[in-house]
Amino acid sequence: MTAALRPATALLDVEDVRVTTADTTIVDGVSFALAPGERVGLIGESGSGKSLTALAVMGLLPEELRATGRVTFDGRDLMALSDRELGSVRGDRIAMVFQEPMTALNPLMRVGRQVTETLSLHRGLRRSAADARAVELLTRVELPDPESAMRAYPHQLSGGQRQRVMLAMALACDPAVLICDEPTTALDVTVQARMLRLIDRLVDEEGSALLFITHDLAVVSGLCQRVLVMYGGRIVESGATIDVFASPRHHYTAGLLDASAATTDARRLDERSRLPIIPGTVPPAGHFPTGCVFRTRCAHATEICETVPVLEGDGHDVACWHPIGGPV
Amino acid sequence: MSPILEAVDLVRDYRLPRRSFRHPPGVRHALRGVALAIGAGERVGVVGESGSGKTTLGRLLVGLDYPTAGDVRFEGESIVGRRERELRHLRRGVQMVFQDPMGSLDPRMTVGAIVAEPLAGLRAPGDHAARLAALLDAVGLPAGSARRYPHQFSGGQRQRIAIARALAPSPRVLIADEPVSALDVSVRAQVLNLLLDLADDLQLTVVFVSHDLSVVRFLCDRVAVLYQGEIVEQGLTADVYERPQHEYTRTLLAAVPTIEGGLPGVTVRPASR
């Protein structure tokens, strides 16, 4: 592991996290660190293990999955904590916004109660104080008419409004780390733009570190200083957003960038004005090839790719035997 | 040139559930007078956000729903108010690909049965087995797919199955409602390329309904922007994207995040403000 990935003042330090089922490994040796106030994008397609990595950090994995490794937050190993101890950190110092607000919110509970729940649990606020703070939070996430939103049930709000309620709940206790798992994927573009601006501003005001999980490279490029690219349960490339996006070193990252950018940039189209593609499909979780996880879809794969490449570099790291631009 | 498919001042109102005995139920105006003429061989994009009426428009154009007022014409003939057996011409000529292939493919039917169903249903002439094999090959599915079931395929492959089924009766017009929005980025490009190849090879007219402006820009010659049930702007794709006239189009275009747009400020401050 390189020094650049480990800021001296890491707030959240994830080391060699593995998530396994009874017979398969879904997340394989993921390590990264988050400095206070830093914004990191975790990019991956379905089956890449990006969401499971976040859930492992939060200690929220479903029962049939097991996580090993170390997650150090503020000097404490979260994976060694009891459920009770973890519960006092989760939602307080580390908070999460999920992709689907309709499933993450309780449909039988008024919005106000869901926001104040966190406040009374972690801050011991009484009803009136918690209510006042909840209104303040809903105002900050730009919900129109926050007082009546307090009395609304989730189904009475629009998708964008529900997602802003999720954000208000996550920010209730001024978390040091905010994890957002595809928070805008289900939203319309104009609503997404508003939500992104909001996350950007609030994270800035709170000074929280941000781990932003998405499949959309364009979203990350406006929001995060650093990115981690995941494929097949591993981080295959990481570095400053500008370096990774401007000169990707992993063939998977390059393929993703081409495929996403070509729809707006005609220069990236091929001679028949077709989109550049990555051949094949993403294998289902746990069915990636041995060695380099991308080798079955990679045009540059050779025999050596049957051995797992190490993620290495000088801050712009890549796990590839034949990286773009020559050996590491 | 007369249009192959035409929406003439389409209005579609849906009744909302009744909330009170004293008041009549409310009405949702999904489409408020939409006029859109689609020429043969054109690739037209219909963009809009959720609630804009874009899916309603797509459903009306294939005759899956009927308008409250206005008309839909296929090859110059009105398809509104016709009996189902009078619509065989339309059913063969206009086909649809839906967003979610898992929701639109019957999980208990084999891929072969799914793709061949329109042939049998429409009593298409010719050798159905040969046609099936040709279709599966055209959409790039592996040989032997016909005997397997939808759940045995990945998302991108399922969308290929849906495309094969839509193409089975040799339609002239293909209406695709968000066909790639459920797909991974790396697979999306493959399916978009496939749609373009097929449109070229089969001289298809394509109506592409989507919220994704960049995909529409790539795929379509012409674009119509739908907002609250009305077309607020339409024109050649290049014109609309480079010189949007309507305020809403400008808002919509400005909201699309791009890799380049985000990059310059990223190391200091996010560029999103």
d(CA B161, CA A268): 28
**Cβ contacts (< 8 Å) between B217 and chain A: which residues?**
263-264
What distance in Å separates residue A89's CA from the closest CA in chain B? 29
Closest partner CB to B267 (pick from A240, A256, A261): A240
**Contacts A197 to B, Cβ<8 Å:** 272-273
Output phi, psi for A296, to 5 deg. Answer: -75, -15
**pLDDT tens string B195-253:** 999 999 999 999 999 988 888 988 999 999 999 999 999 999 999 999 999 999 999 99
| Spatial distance between the Cα atoms of A244 and A252, rounded to a whole number of angstroms | 12
pLDDT value at residue A102: 79
Residue A4: per-residue pLDDT: 47
Average the pLDDT over B16-34 and give the result.
88
Q: Is the pLDDT reported for residue B263 higher than 70? A: no
pLDDT value, residue B135: 94
User: Among A17-26, A42-51, A270-279, B237-246, which stretch is predicted with the lowest mean pLDDT?
Assistant: A270-279
Q: What's phi and psi for A270, nearest 5 deg? A: -85, -175
pLDDT at A7: 52
Q: What pLDDT score was predicted for residue B265?
A: 42
Neighbours of A54 (CB within 10 A): 20
Q: What is the pLDDT of residue B184?
A: 82
The residue of chain B with its CA nearest to that of A218 is B259
Contact of B152 with B108, CB cutoff 8 Å: no
Sequence-ordered list of residues with C-beta below 8 angstroms from that of A10, at least 6 positions apart, any chain: A33, A34, A35, A72
| pLDDT-derived band at A271, boundaries 50, 70, 90 | confident
Query: What's the pLDDT score for residue B104?
Result: 87
Q: Is the pLDDT of residue A150 over 50?
A: yes
A231 pLDDT more than 50: yes
Of the partner residues A46, A218, A219, the one whose CB lies closest to the CB of residue B184:
A46
Q: What is the mean pLDDT of chain A?
A: 90
Residue B122 pLDDT > 70: yes
Task: Compute the count of residue pairs across chains A and B with CB atoms less than 8 Å apart.
Answer: 132
Q: Between residues B123 and A211, which one has the greater pLDDT?
A: A211
Q: Report the 10 Å Cβ neighbour count for A271.
A: 5
- Give the residue with greater pLDDT, A261 vs A5: A261
The dihedral over CA atoms of A80, A82, A88, A94, expressed in degrees to the nearest 10, equals 40
Does residue B269 surpass a pLDDT of 50? no
Q: What is the pTM of this model?
A: 0.87
Residue that has been written with the tokens 């990252």 in this structure: A253
Q: Distance, in angstroms, between B170 CA and closest chain A CA?
A: 24
Which residue from A minimizes the CA distance to B194? A274
B238 touches chain A (CB under 8 A): no
Give a three-class secondary structure readout of chain A: CCHHHCCCCCCEEEEEEEEECCCCEEEEEEEEEECCCCEEEEECCCCCCHHHHHHHHHCCCCCCCEEEEEEEECCEEHHHCCHHHHHHHECCCEEEECCCHHHHCCCCCCHHHHHHHHHHHHHCCCHHHHHHHHHHHHHHCCCCCHHHHHHCCHHHCCHHHHHHHHHHHHHCCCCCEEEEECCCCCCCHHHHHHHHHHHHHHHHHHCCEEEEEECCHHHHHCCCCEEEEEECCEEEEEEEHHHHHHCCCCHHHHHHHHHHHCCCCHHHCCCCCCCCCCCCCCCCCCCCCCCCCCHHHCCCCCHHHHCCCCCEECCCEECCCCCCCCCC
Helix axis angle, A189-206 to B247-255, nearest 10°? 50
Mean pLDDT value across residues A198-218 = 93
pLDDT at A130 over 50: yes
Could A191 and B49 be called an inter-chain contact, meaning their C-beta atoms sit closer than 8 Å? yes
CA of A131 vs chain B CAs: smallest distance (Å): 30
